[in-house]
Structure 1
Amino acid sequence: MKIKNIYKYLFAAILILHLSACNNNTDAEQLFDKTPTERLNIQKSELSQALLSSQFGWKTVYFTDNTVLGGYTHLFRFAQDGTVEMASDFDSDTDVYKSEYEIQLGSTVSLTFTTKNRIHLLSESDNYPIPALRAKGYLGDFQFLYYGQENGEIIFKANRNGTEIRFVKATAADWADLPKNLEMEDNVIGSNERPLFRLLETTDGTTVHKFDFSFSPVTRFAESNSIEAGYSVSYNMGVGYTPTGIVVSPAVEVGGQKLSNFVYNDADGSFTATGTGGVSAVIKYSTKPLIITDDYKVMLQAPQTGYAYINANLATAPTNSALFNSLIKEIHANLPSTQKVNRIQFTFNDAFGESYITYSFTGGKALMYHNFTVQEDAVNKTLILVPGTWQSNTGAIIAEPALLKNIDKEIMNPSGLYVKKEAFKIQFTNNIYTFTSATSNFRMTTYAFQ
């Protein structure tokens, strides 16, 4: 190639690079030719337009902290005059309420609900579901920092803890069907007509894994731990209700796929999330515990052991069954308002070799004792409490108290109780033991005193 032609091509290449650099500089200048305040005002206008753009408003399932709490569906319909209509499934009140909102400017743009409405129920510090959240409430917020839009969704982060919140466009059905979320709650809790035991079963198309499954309706939180030796995977997740099932956060990850939407099947009470390529996760019932332990054996002989349900601390334990909770409520309904169950305590093999249940109450009601002897069903691994005499706090023999008949009948089930030393603790360092009926949906949670 001639030198003259080489210079021509070099000159052309340099000219192209120069023009490209000029264009890049122009873009950069356009990007930064506005002051921070001007950019915030643009974002404010953008958010305002977005909030007003959806015919039926917006929906979010707000997981305030998915390590301890579930999700709460909120519906919003924003108006240009600064008012917002809102409904939620926080509790049974799914009516629509009007309040005010502002799009505020600070270090960033935020959507703030300035007058009280349903969203504020999640941020009130004196409104908490469990003692561990005392003075913290439901860890929610009413000021959402604006982070832009993606695929038609508005993205926020809670000012309180940085939790991401996504608004999706609501439909007319979302508003009409909101009460169905609370109907679904009963299916998640499980009725007394269903088996007590539940599991989470996952498959990646070839390999199946099984996990125990427990759910607390008070916190809308579920815990699932592998029952397989050498496989230590756990799925702890917040649960939100939908008209057709549940949504969970974090998602259950199976075979590299994240499954978060579970559909309810009323025929068998199961919830199924389906991926692709045979991937799925199913929450379903089992007629027996997934793992039957020998934890009851410590109760068969000396030295003395004790286990107590303490109402003040264990009333919200997720391992209490719905049947057990209903029997406690039944007792309370038949007591004066000043009296409640205080403890139901098992004592095995005291200094005199005797075993008995102590029923104690608040409000000055006297103690009552039910003596029993202990038998073992080694084949089914159950502990059988054979009922004996009832005694008053003075030691006198008394007739069976009608007040305690139904709950005591479950404890003295002739088919026995499964006993399990749980892996978790509740408030104190005492080990937790559960006593579960072999034939009904009765399960009570106790502290061990050994």
Structure 2
Amino acid sequence: MKLKSIFNYILVAILAIQLVSCDNKETLESPFGATPAERLDAKQKELNDLLESSEFGWKAVYFTDVTQLGGFTHVFKFEDGKVDMASDFDDDTSVYSSEYSIELGSTTSLLFSTSNRIHLLSDSNNAPTAALRGKGYKGDFQFLYYGQENGEIIFRTNRSFEELRFVKATAADWTNLAKARAMIPNVVGASSRPLFRLLETNDGSKINQFDFTFTPASRYAVANSIVAGSSFSYNVGIAYTATGITVKPAIKVGTQDLTDFVYDANTGSFNATGTGGVTATIRYSNKPLVLTDDYKPLLPGNPTVIYAYIAANLSTAASNSNFTNSLLNAANASLPSTQKINRIQFYFNDGANGSYIAYTFTGGRSAVYHFVKVTEDPVNKTIKLSNDGWSVATPPTFLQAIDNQLLDPNGLYVKKETFKITYSNTIYTFTSASSNFRLTTYAFQ
């Protein structure tokens, strides 16, 4: 073969290889028939069209951190970069307008770009508990778009990557926010109902009970098993609805997950129903589920023990009952403006002084002491305080209502609590065995 012919063959081969390489390059760059920028643009339009497609907008129940916080319901109506929004964060369920945008980054996201109700959850000044000081409700206002499923829009939060779903709203969802707010007193517990509450589950063959405590500020509930030695508990965030509550994570009973509890106005209970006899109920009890011996160190013959309600630190304690707060407020209202009850302090077995209740005040008012005899009811595990004289000839009338509760003939339940308030002192509560009186105190030993 001539040299010229060989050269021509080589040239044709090189050209063929280059053409194949170019074809492969195009295939690698555009496997879906569009450039990455084009795909992002399409995703941006897809999300925006979807947001604007629902007649009554969208609803989202936003649980920001199910390890310590409950859920907050928001409704949104999107159009042309504007969003109308309302929430049940507080009693203001009005609709407010602001701006939103669809952002393009590593993925498409929805950004609430100007302030509105959802920003209340990300405000670090809105801390519901001491543990969340500087963190607020740990909320977000930018949500990463992850597609659709069964008519719902799937997002993940930008900071914590938690899933959040938007479901199509109804006209009623906008007005139900106020009804959900009206449910709060029922969840907190009416002052006309017993103080003690429990979660009771039934898997169709066995009933289990759990001591139930709800913290309104964080919308969080803890239910601990009453079985001795058991550490099992349900820790759930609560979201209010027009008919009851929703919990997250679900209450698992047997193999079933229960999330929606309906309020029964007659009994004050919240009921969730599964199948095959599976149920879960939050209800009231006339006495503690677990009767403790926490009162025994207060009985005669033991060393001195001291407990104190200190208004500066404990007046807002969630463990004080509404009834107790009302009695304290009424007593303070009867005093001059410069004087208030600042301590109710219990001394047990204080040497020659015996046992007594010390009432002290601000504004220079002298302390008042009520001496008491201490006995026990070993069956109901209560401590009973009875009159043994006062330090003044005439006991102050403004203290009478509070003092009557502390000297309840049916006794007081004394409980060593597991939580702390401000300081490291152990918390003890004193609860009437026959009324809704419960006072929170620090232990000083």
- TM-score above 0.5, yes or no: yes
Q: 1:100 to 1:333 in 2, by over 3 A?
A: farther
Unaligned runs of 5+ in 1: 1-25, 392-396
Q: Which residue of 2 aligns with 1:300?
A: 299
Q: Distance in 1 between matches of 2:232 and 2:259?
A: 17
User: 1:442 aligned to 2:441?
Assistant: no
Unaligned runs of 5+ in 2: 1-25
Mean alpha-carbon deviation: is it higher for 104-113 or for 34-43? 34-43
Q: 1:260 to 1:325 in 2, by over 3 A?
A: farther
The residue type equivalent to 1:433 in the other structure is Y
Q: Distance in 2 between matches of 1:103 and 1:445?
A: 50
Shift of 1:288: 1.6
Q: SS of the residue aligned with 1:352?
A: helix
Whether the 8 Å contact between 1:216 and 1:317 is mirrored in structure 2 is no
Q: Distance in 2 between matches of 1:365 and 1:43?
A: 71
Q: 1:381 to 1:112 in 2, by over 3 A?
A: same
TM-superposition CA deviations, 1:115-149 (whole Å, max 9, x none): 22211221211122222222221222222222222
Shift of 1:308: 2.2
Q: 1:145 to 1:380 in 2, by over 3 A?
A: same
Shift of 1:420: 1.5
Whether the 8 Å contact between 1:214 and 1:319 is mirrored in structure 2 is no
User: 1:150 aligned to 2:145?
Assistant: no
Q: 1:342 to 1:74 in 2, by over 3 A?
A: farther
Q: SS of the residue aligned with 2:146?
A: strand
User: 1:37 aligned to 2:34?
Assistant: no
> Which residues of 2 match residues 339-358 of structure 1 at below 5 A?
341-358=341-358
Q: SS of the residue aligned with 1:87?
A: strand
Q: Which residue of 1 aligns with 2:424?
A: 429
> Which residues of 2 match residues 174-185 of structure 1 at below 5 A?
174-185=173-184
Shift of 1:30: 6.1
Whether the 8 Å contact between 2:29 and 2:35 is mirrored in structure 1 is no
> Which residues of 2 match residues 186-265 of structure 1 at below 5 A?
186-265=185-264
Q: Distance in 2 between matches of 1:71 and 1:337?
A: 40
Q: SS of the residue aligned with 1:112?
A: strand
The residue type equivalent to 1:41 in the other structure is D
Q: Which residue of 1 aligns with 2:4?
A: none
Mean alpha-carbon deviation: is it higher for 328-337 or for 423-432? 328-337
Q: SS of the residue aligned with 2:210?
A: strand
The residue type equivalent to 1:348 in the other structure is F
User: 1:320 aligned to 2:315?
Assistant: no
Q: Distance in 2 between matches of 1:147 and 1:337?
A: 59
Q: Distance in 1 between matches of 2:323 and 2:237?
A: 23
Shift of 1:364: 5.9
Q: Distance in 2 between matches of 1:339 and 1:46?
A: 65
Q: Distance in 1 between matches of 2:93 and 2:206?
A: 42
> Which residues of 2 match residues 396-407 of structure 1 at below 5 A?
397=392, 399-407=394-402
Shift of 1:284: 0.9
Name the larger-Rg structure: 2
Q: Distance in 2 between matches of 1:334 and 1:156?
A: 55
Shift of 1:341: 4.8
Mean alpha-carbon deviation: is it higher for 109-118 or for 247-256? 109-118
TM-superposition CA deviations, 1:230-277 (whole Å, max 9, x none): 443101111111010000111111112111100111111111111122
Shift of 1:343: 3.2
Q: Distance in 2 between matches of 1:313 and 1:33?
A: 66
Shift of 1:66: 1.7
Q: 1:402 to 1:152 in 2, by over 3 A?
A: farther
Shift of 1:373: 2.3
Q: Distance in 2 between matches of 1:340 and 1:50?
A: 59
Q: Distance in 1 between matches of 2:327 and 2:153?
A: 46
Shift of 1:328: 3.6
Q: Structure 1 vs Structure 2: percent identity of aligned residues?
A: 60
Q: Which residue of 2 aligns with 1:170?
A: 169
Whether the 8 Å contact between 1:214 and 1:318 is mirrored in structure 2 is no
TM-score by length of 2: 0.87
Q: Which residue of 1 aligns with 2:74?
A: 74
Computed over aligned residues only, the root mean square deviation of the Cα atoms, in angstroms, reads 2.5
Q: Distance in 2 between matches of 1:118 and 1:334?
A: 40
Q: 1:57 to 1:352 in 2, by over 3 A?
A: same
Q: Distance in 2 between matches of 1:206 and 1:192?
A: 34
Whether the 8 Å contact between 2:219 and 2:239 is mirrored in structure 1 is yes
For these two proteins, the number of residue pairs brought into alignment is 420
The residue type equivalent to 1:371 in the other structure is F
TM-superposition CA deviations, 1:207-235 (whole Å, max 9, x none): 11110111111221111000012443101
Whether the 8 Å contact between 1:111 and 1:143 is mirrored in structure 2 is yes
Whether the 8 Å contact between 1:300 and 1:375 is mirrored in structure 2 is yes
Q: SS of the residue aligned with 1:72?
A: strand
Q: SS of the residue aligned with 1:272?
A: strand
Q: 1:411 to 1:178 in 2, by over 3 A?
A: same
